[in-house]
């Protein structure tokens, strides 16, 4: 998990909130826009292949955007979760 409860990195609280929202949606693995609260949307980017080797090997990772916005808007901060 990225941004654990002891995280001191800027915007970790936002990542935790997003993680909770994605959890409620069952962590979709299909790359698509998903309806979020307040009429906004959030994007699940599908599988993250870790080609740069920045995350531990041996896990499967998926990417989820942190900030909801209008459907089709540019992507910003992304949360990557492993399974």
Q: Is the pLDDT of residue 77 over 60?
A: yes
Cα separation, 4 vs 69, in Å, equals 24
Q: Which two tokens stand for residue 81?
A: 């979760």
Tens-digit pLDDT profile for residues 32-56: 999 998 899 999 999 999 999 988 9
Q: In a 10 Å sphere around its CB, with 0-12 CB exposed, 13-18 middle and 19+ buried, how is residue 12 labelled?
A: middle
Q: Is the pLDDT of residue 6 over 90?
A: no
Cα separation, 21 vs 42, in Å, equals 10
| Among 9-13, 23-27, 64-68, 71-75, the least confident range | 9-13
């Amino acid at each position: 998990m990225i941004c654990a409860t002891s995280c001191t990195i800027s915007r970790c609280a936002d990542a935790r909130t997003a993680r909770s929202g994605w959890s409620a949606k069952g962590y979709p693995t299909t790359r698509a826009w998903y309806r979020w609260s307040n009429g906004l949307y959030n994007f699940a980017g599908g599988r993250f292949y870790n080609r740069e080797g920045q995350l531990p090997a041996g896990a499967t990772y998926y990417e989820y955007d942190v900030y909801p916005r209008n459907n089709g808007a540019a992507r910003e901060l992304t949360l990557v979760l492993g399974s």
